[in-house]
Structure 1
Amino acid sequence: MAHYSKEEIVNSVPQKGFFGHPKGLFTLFFTEFWERFSYYGMRAILLFYMYYEVSKGGLGLDEGTAASIMAIYGALVYMSGIIGGWIADRLLGGTSTVFYGGVLIMFGHIALSLPGSLTAFFISMALIIIGTGLLKPNVSNVVGDLYAPEDYRRDSGFSIFYMGINLGAFLSPLIVGTVGQEFNFHAGFAIAAVGMFFGLLTFMVTKKKYLGLAGKNVPNPLTKVERGKTYKRAGIGAAIVIAFFAITIPTGIMTINRLTYLVSFLGLSIPTAYFIIMYRNKKTTKNEKSRLLAYIPLFVASMMFWSIQEQGSIILAQYADQRVDLSFSGLGIQSSWFQSLNPLFIIFLAPVFAWLWIRLKRKQPSTPQKFAFGLMFAGISFLVLVIPALTNGDNLVNPLWLVLSFFIVVIGELLLSPVGLSATTKLAPAAFASQTMSLWFLSNAAGQAMNAQLVKLYNINTEIAYFGILGGVSILLGVILFLFSPKISKLMKGVL
């Protein structure tokens, strides 16, 4: 397999043409726009689809089970990034892996659009989980390939890319959510499938001209002997997993509750194993090992942040459906529409942050400091929900409280998420480029794995303690990270 230097890759990409950024950012911007349109449109109605009564077009599950499944699903989506990173690093490269992931996602949404049993629901979830794992980490890694390591546009480019993600995420709950809740859930899922089709079309039509060699490298390819062994082991492993669930689910051994504990365990143990394997690998240099050590506290911070942020589509979705007054100023509001708030605020604020990092250049806060501030804002977003719980009791809450909570967490997200994507591409060991991006998304998986247990604790009686404790813990971790940020920056060996 051909191996291209970083200079060759950057030179193959037209460096101007998309808001002062490489033209390849156009391709990846709109690919992710449509992929996120499909994903967040589906997520906007998925919880309601699970716990609404069968007579209302739902599956009729109880609310606690539905919330846990949402958390499990979110965790597994990001855990599957391990597979996508490994395939890109050792078999196909980033761009090919992105395409195959999009195909699986599209078929998963098509399966959801067809009325079926709970078994059919889980099959569709499996397709979307694997497909997202192939696409999500690799499309972000290809963005990193567009820029030279010292290019100051990098953080700005990731912020613009992040805005594309959230533009799709903003529109989809309004469209898919309205169709799903007003007309039919399956029709909503069908619209999500069409969105993924447009994403694939954009990618295929523009990638040759705009991406150049970006995403073509296979940094650590398998030898012919290794390929044979790998395919054999993968086949045996898949057979064991299928047999395990085929036996344990019908017999009642594997229940939803036990599955949540299994996913929570995997969500914490897999990234731990990943750090150890990469750190001890002979291909990881001394400086790369130091950067991996610096990456650990950033990973923990990200895990806590996503634990709070991802509850926007679980606990806050349930909160919107059951605790918020959906008749505001004489207008009827769909509970799914609140899922558009997070991306809406990002659309407006992402350009501000992109401009800010370019304006400040070397005077901007360090990466660990940005993470610390992000954690603090996440904690505050939960603390503000304690106020209506104290003042309103069991009465319906003014929707502006929920709007404020989403707004505050977005500030934290823009301080942490696009910066984390950028930092991952810079801190990653060369032999584990895509897999380190998968590790970044595992921080989200770990946060949602924790949520699989945490969401069980939420109800109207525990509301004050739930939002207060989680918000306070996040702020405390942010303060600790800020105090240790100089030491972490030193371990990063010159990476800003």
Structure 2
Amino acid sequence: MSDSNKQKIVASVPQTGFFGHPRGLFNLFFTEFWERFSYYGMRAILVFYMYYEVSKGGLGIAQSTALSIMSLYGSLVYMSGVIGGWLADRIFGTSKAVFYGGILIMLGHILLAIPGGAVTLFASMVVIVLGTGLLKPNVSSIVGELYSEEDNRRDAGFSIFYMGINLGGFLSPLIIGTLGMKYNFHLGFGLAAVGMLIGLIVFIMTKKNNLGLAGTFVANPLSPTDRNKVFARIGSVAVLIAILVAVAISMGALTFKTFLTLVSILGILIPTLYFIVMYRSPKTTATERSRVVAYIPLFIASVMFWAIQEQGSTILANYADKRTKLDYAGIHISPAWFQSLNPLFIIIFAPVFAWLWLRLGNKQPSVPQKFTLGLLFSGLSFLVILLPAYLGGTHSLVNPLWLVLSNFIVVVGELCLSPVGLSATTKLAPTAFSAQTMSLWFLSNAAAQAINAQIVKFYTPETEMLYFGVIGGISIILGLILLLFASNIKEHMKGIR
């Protein structure tokens, strides 16, 4: 996008009105709040809906299969962001992408609210994956458009926006989780649809007065001729894929197992290709090529971290349901409530870490050292959760405070790695690939969950200690290796701290 268009956008946005920030931040804060409310609320009960018996309102899917489906689902959600970003940049702009994405997410939750069995489950997943891919990366882009590049409020604005995400993520498992687990899963999914509808209404009703031209410019539009060619190619590929899928299913070649393997391969293959293209591109300078090399071990560390953190909605959700005392201190705890812990701890401790890094100044750990801390804490969170089995066996119910402690430890790791990773990505990205490198960062989560789709099926009460011990141990070992090469990585970063 040209500098003149950026200036036009900033001039069109009322620059005060929401805690001293552009008025449009109100619009985007509540849009993303309700989108995350709907998504995390749905996710809090989805795995239980899949493996609970039909007599309990579930689908009766085998537990190991349900856990794999959840990981597969999460991987596809993050992969789809690449498509959503491209469509916004080349076809219809970020504002329309957010609107279309919200519509699809709402329709996906409506499908889940219909008691249609596995058919509506998988149909809803496809629709929500596409919708989230359109909405999630693009709503963040619009936040950036509200501020000029010299505006000192930009970082604080993103912090406020980030609070909206976590506030939605904190409240939804408590509300939707209670409704879905206590009364009816489909009521919970229906409430998630209502949440997304509210978000869409907020976005539409306040967009004209609050957002101005933000989100309306197409950053790198296709010419009419190229657009027709692209649509023709997309249509041809879609038809070809549909034919191949139909033939493969009829021949028995495409099963859930083969599809799982395919997505797991793509989760590793796509980011690998990204790195190769960026490194070999003639548009990448020698300095930028060195920074790409430095980014590779950080990306691998991020994959390892998210492989543990994202098991909060799979293995640890199952652990909360099957291994935890849910009647504690006179309160009956819903297993879905534990998924509110991560955003709650982020809301409480993110300002503490921001203050800490500011306080330390030039004495703060380097980027590789912060990533090391992230891996050490994530590994420790899994070692902590194996202790109850070591102390009391794998068949007795454990104190819920063990899960609280494990979640707290992994959040400490997340605050060392996640915001630092976002910042490092913007600094280390080659100029010609700046937007795509941000998509690459989110692909580390897709790769992590693609791996999880393969490994979660090995979790059973009998293998519990081995499962947590091996994965936690690998994370700690990888963290120590990263620390060992931290100075070499810093060298390749060419002055970026």
What does residue 405 of structure 1 align with? Answer: 406
**Which deviates more from structure 2 when the two are superposed, residues 451-460 or residues 12-21?**
12-21
Assess if the C-alpha contact under 8 Å between 1:45 and 1:336 holds in 2: yes
Give the CA deviation at 1:94.
2.6
Residue 476 of structure 1 aligns to a residue whose secondary structure is helix
Equivalent residue letter for 2:385:
L
Q: 1:213 to 1:303 in 2, by over 3 A?
A: farther
Partner of 1:127: 127
Q: 1:240, 1:383 → 2: CA distance? A: 47
Q: What SS class does the counterpart of residue 395 from structure 1 fall into?
A: coil
CA contact (8 A) 1:16 1:23 kept: yes
Measure the CA separation in 2 of the matches of 1:88 and 1:446: 23
SS at structure 2 position matched to 1:365: coil
Letter in 2 for 1:423: A
Q: Is the 8 A contact 1:274 1:439 kept in 2?
A: yes
Asked whether the 8 Å contact 1:77–1:132 carries over to 2, the reply is yes
Per-residue CA shift, 1:468-490, capped at 9, x if unaligned?
Answer: 11111112222332343344344
| Residue 195 of structure 1: how far off its partner (Å) | 0.9
Q: How does 1:451-462 map to 2 (within 5 A)?
A: 451-462=452-463
For each residue in 1:122-179, what CA deviation from the matched residue of structure 2 results, as whole angstroms up to 9, or x when unmatched? Answer: 1110000011111122223333445566766655544433222111011111111111
The aligned counterpart of 1:340 is 340
1:401 shift after superposition? 0.3
When the two chains are superposed, the root-mean-square deviation of aligned CA atoms in Å is 2.6
Deviation string 1:158-211 (CA, Å, 9 cap, x unpaired) is 443322211101111111111111111111101101111122222233444444
Q: Distance in 1 between matches of 2:336 and 2:374?
A: 25
Q: Report matched runs for 1:52-71 at 5 Å.
A: 52-71=52-71
Structure 2 counterpart of 1:469: 470
Cα separation, 2, equivalents of 1:57 and 1:196: 24
Q: Say if 1:139 and 1:488 are closer, same or farther in 2 by CA, change over 3 A.
A: farther
Q: 1:100 to 1:165 in 2, by over 3 A?
A: same
Structure 1 pair 463–123 and aligned structure 2 pair: CA distance change class (3 A): same
Q: Which residue of 1 aligns with 2:26?
A: 26
Q: Report how far residue 2 of structure 1 moved.
A: 6.7
Given the superposition, is the C-alpha separation of residues 144 and 404 from structure 1 closer, same or farther in structure 2, using an over 3 Å criterion? same
Deviates more, 1:480-489 or 1:189-198: 480-489
Q: What amino acid is aligned across from residue 481 of structure 2 in structure 1?
A: I
- For these two proteins, the number of residue pairs brought into alignment is 496
TM superposition score normalised by structure 2: 0.92
**Equivalent in the alignment of 1:181:** 181
Shift of 1:257: 1.8
- In the alignment, structure 1 residue 373 sits paired with structure 2 residue 362: no
Seq. identity, %: 65
**Structure 2: stretches of 5+ with no match in the other structure:** none
Taking structure 1 as reference, are residues 157 and 377 closer, same or farther at Cα in structure 2, changes over 3 Å only? Answer: farther
TM (norm. structure 1) is 0.92
The CA deviation string for residues 391-433 of structure 1, in whole angstroms up to 9 with x for no partner, is: 1102111110011001111111122223323333444445544
Aligned counterparts, 1:310-321, within 5 A: 310-321=310-321
Question: What corresponds to 2:483 in structure 1?
Answer: 482
Distance 1:305 1:3 in 2: 37
The amino acid that maps onto 2:143 is V
Conservation of the 8 A alpha-carbon contact between 1:82 and 1:438 = yes
Unaligned 5+ segments in structure 1 are: none
The aligned residue for residue 443 of structure 2 is 442
The 8 Å contact of residues 89 and 433 in structure 1, kept in 2 or not, is answered as no
3-state SS of the aligned residue for 2:485?
A: helix
Q: Which residue of 2 aligns with 1:162?
A: 162
Q: Which amino acid aligns with 1:109?
A: H
Mapped to 2, the partners of 1:436 and 1:85 lie a distance apart of 12
Q: Is the Cα–Cα contact under 8 Å of residues 158 and 421 in structure 1 kept in the other structure? A: no
Q: Deviations over 1:285-322 (max 9, x none)?
A: 55544443333222211111110000000000111111
**Kept in 2: contact 1:378–1:409 (CA 8 A):** yes
**2:136 and 2:487 mapped to 1: Cα distance?**
31
